[in-house]
């Protein structure tokens, strides 16, 4: 069973994608708002019946119903509003994440947990510290979204499908993320070789500003992209695909960083984040990566200390 905590746009869309992908035969959707997860679940079950999907979606207001979950996806938290950075959400969402972590620890102690709540790198740190699960079982969602956004923007200039681009974005999920087109490729050829300097800078900037652009345009944050990324991650874990997908994981010496969650390429399988792929960085690239890591450290300082213990 896969449980999704939070029935807002990201949570509901993710549950629907998981149903459509038939990643598991049971999806549980939990929210504190009475009637909301039940109504979403009923609608999804009707869609499953129409499409011939052998998946049951259950809506609940009780955390106890996550018992037996292999994967728990946490989408609960306040959404980013126009003009608001992910970082401003830190203090408010930390309290929510602590409460959710306690429930996961009680009812799904053997699960692999993926969190989307922003600011992502800070909230996955709060979650990890509270759960005290092994680092391979606490994963921050972000990298698959940021990297594939870059693939999308680059593909428009070079005239190939985004699926043909192997993208790399490192560090923070936020305004200080580090897109690396020169280490991204199309069939072994660097993206940088396809792009003019102006295009290169545009791809980098568009990748960084993608979330803010969506929020400014439609007045609420993205849900389709995150749901698609969560589908890939849950599928890779549930079906033990050993797929290399970017995610925010706890670094323990990799990339010269210790004790910080940051987005890097990882191998996802039945045990969660089973391996971190270390990409060779030159001195300039290392400096840019460390600047992004410093931004994560600064963001952690915005979280009340009691939530980081």
- Cα-atom radius of gyration of the chain, to the nearest Å? 19
Q: Across-strand partners of 140?
A: 115, 248
Q: How many Cβ atoms from other residues are within 10 Å of residue 277's Cβ?
A: 12
Catalytic residue among 130, 148, 173, 192: 173
Q: Give CA separation, 78 vs 56, 189, 207, 270, in Å.
A: 28, 41, 23, 30
Helix or strand (DSSP H, E) at 43: helix 36-51
Nearest alpha-carbon partner for 140 in 168, 117, 174: 117
CA distance 308 to 306: 6
Where would I find the H helices in 114-166? 120-131, 143-158
Residue 46: active-site member: no
CA distance 104 to 86: 24
CA distance 268 to 71: 13
CA distance 132 to 123: 14
CA distance 225 to 15: 13
Q: Which residues are catalytic?
A: 173
């Amino acid at each position: 069973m896969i449980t999704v905590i939070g029935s807002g746009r990201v949570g509901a869309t993710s549950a629907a994608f998981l149903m459509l992908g038939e990643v598991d035969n049971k999806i549980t959707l939990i929210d504190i708002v009475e009637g909301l997860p039940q109504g979403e679940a009923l609608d999804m079950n009707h869609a499953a019946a129409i499409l011939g999907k052998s998946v049951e979606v259950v809506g609940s207001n009780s955390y106890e119903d996550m018992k037996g979950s292999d994967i728990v996806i946490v989408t609960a938290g306040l959404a980013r509003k126009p003009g608001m950075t992910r970082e401003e959400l830190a203090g408010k969402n930390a309290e929510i994440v602590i409460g959710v972590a306690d429930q996961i620890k009680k009812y799904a102690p053997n699960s692999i947990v993926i969190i989307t709540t922003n600011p992502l790198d800070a909230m996955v740190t709060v979650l990890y510290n509270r759960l005290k699960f092994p680092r391979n079982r606490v994963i921050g969602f972000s990298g698959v979204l940021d990297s594939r956004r870059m693939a999308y923007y680059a593909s428009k200039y070079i005239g190939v499908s985004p699926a043909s681009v192997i993208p790399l974005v490192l560090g923070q999920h936020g305004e200080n993320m580090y897109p690396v087109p020169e280490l991204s490729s199309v069939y072994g050829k660097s993206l940088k070789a396809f792009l003019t300097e102006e295009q290169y800078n545009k791809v980098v900037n568009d990748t960084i500003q993608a979330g803010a652009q969506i929020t400014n345009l439609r007045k609420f944050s993205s849900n389709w992209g995150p749901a698609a990324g969560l589908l890939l991650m849950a599928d890779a874990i549930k079906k033990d695909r050993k797929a290399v997908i970017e995610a925010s994981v706890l670094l323990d010496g990799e990339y010269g960083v210790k004790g910080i969650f940051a987005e890097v390429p990882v191998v996802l399988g039945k045990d969660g984040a089973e391996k971190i792929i270390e990409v060779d960085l030159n001195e300039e690239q290392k400096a840019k990566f460390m600047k992004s890591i410093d931004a994560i450290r600064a963001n952690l300082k915005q979280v009340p200390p009691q939530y980081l213990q």
